[in-house]
Amino acid sequence: MATKLEYIWLDGYKPTQSLRSKTKIVKSFSGNVEELDNWSFDGSSTEQAPGGSSDCILKPVFACPDPQRKDAYLVMCEVLDSKGEPHESNGRALIQDDDNDFWFGFEQEYFLWDPQTNKPLGFPAGGYPGPQGPYYCSVGANNAYGREIVEEHLDVCLEAGLNVEGINAEVAAGQWEFQIFAKGAKEAGDQIWVARYLLERIGEKYGVSINWHCKPLGQLDWNGSGMHANFSNTLLRTANSEEKFKAVCEAFRPAVAECIAVYGADNDQRLTGKHETASIHDFSYGVSDRGASIRIPLYAVDHNWSGYLEDRRPNSAADPYKVAAVIIKTVKSANV
């Protein structure tokens, strides 16, 4: 029986990459990604190669069932250049976590966006809904907008085998969040990108676009969107030491510019020191402090200073591969 394989990759657009995909038909597929062949595409159409030498290579790295198509799989790919080396747009290749010692939980926020009004769902065409307050974790047609899209997305993600750990309506009207956890930085990034892909595709059916921009409503009094990165490694999970936790946090202080460079475009619009963010110009950390750059969860304190940390600076459009790569590099540099 023929099987549809949807090869998915990230293009070369800057400062924010977009998802691309195309379908390959094979006679059979067991679900093991190692069985899959590389495939080429026209990089001159995706800002990844010149027209005179346009071939780029798709290397399958993650595969899962595609619940929305019959006899089909979703295949996340790395992009290689014509020589078979990681393309400059390939953030996954930057991750130094071959032993999967790093665990990541990403909290992906986004807006459901009405192309007709060019505003989030729930915003009237001629103005704004009531102020923030009733929308977070809300229920009811007056406060929750687009739930049918969000629920369908949750179902297909779970059917695909993605490790979604929860969903909720967020602080602004039309804003939602899903959370994905994986043991291994590369797989965490793979799953976030596949989940984003599925959400975009579901939006097509409803005529609703997904707005990943971190501050789509500008500097009006509405929250922006983040992709908070919860992370741990053996050091943090077994620290039993406040000193070690603070040493890891301090390792991020000299790396602020390097981190911010990959934490998503236009993050200065979101990291203002308001709306549960720290200022992009500062660096801070604190226990249970959602206004800090890095939050030390109560969980870690309650477990004798062992557990994980949350970097609250990555924004909703950031590449989880690049976010994970810089966090791993920084944690490994800690003087512990």
Is 52 found in the same domain as 12?
A: yes
Residue 51 pLDDT grade (very low, low, confident, very high; cuts 50, 70, 90): confident
Given 58, 90, 122, which residue is the final one in a domain? 90
- When pLDDT is averaged across residues 283-309 and rounded to a whole number, the result is 96
Rounded Cα distance between 182 and 92, Å, is 15
Q: Domain containing 327: what range?
A: 103-332
Is 146 found in the same domain as 34?
A: no
Query: Is residue 146 within 8 Å of 110, Cβ to Cβ?
Result: no
Query: Is residue 146 within 8 Å of 157, Cβ to Cβ?
Result: no
Is 265 found in the same domain as 122?
A: yes
Rounded Cα distance between 300 and 73, Å, is 38
Query: Quick one: pLDDT at residue 30?
Result: 94
Is 114 found in the same domain as 82?
A: no
Instruction: Report yes or no on 95 lying in a domain.
Output: no
Asked if residue 142 has pLDDT above 90, the reply is: yes
Is 138 found in the same domain as 262?
A: yes
For the four alpha carbons of 135, 140, 146 and 150, in that order, the dihedral sign comes to positive
Fill in the DSSP letter of residue 252.
T
Query: Can you point out the beta strands (E) in the chain?
Result: 3-10, 19-26, 39-42, 55-65, 72-80, 103-114, 119-120, 164-169, 175-183, 209-211, 227-232, 285-287, 294-296, 309-311
Q: What pTM did the predictor assign?
A: 0.97
Give the count of domains, the chain. Answer: 2
- When pLDDT is averaged across residues 142-156 and rounded to a whole number, the result is 98
Residue 52 pLDDT grade (very low, low, confident, very high; cuts 50, 70, 90): confident
- Burial bucket for residue 336 (CB in 10 Å: 0-12, 13-18, 19+): middle
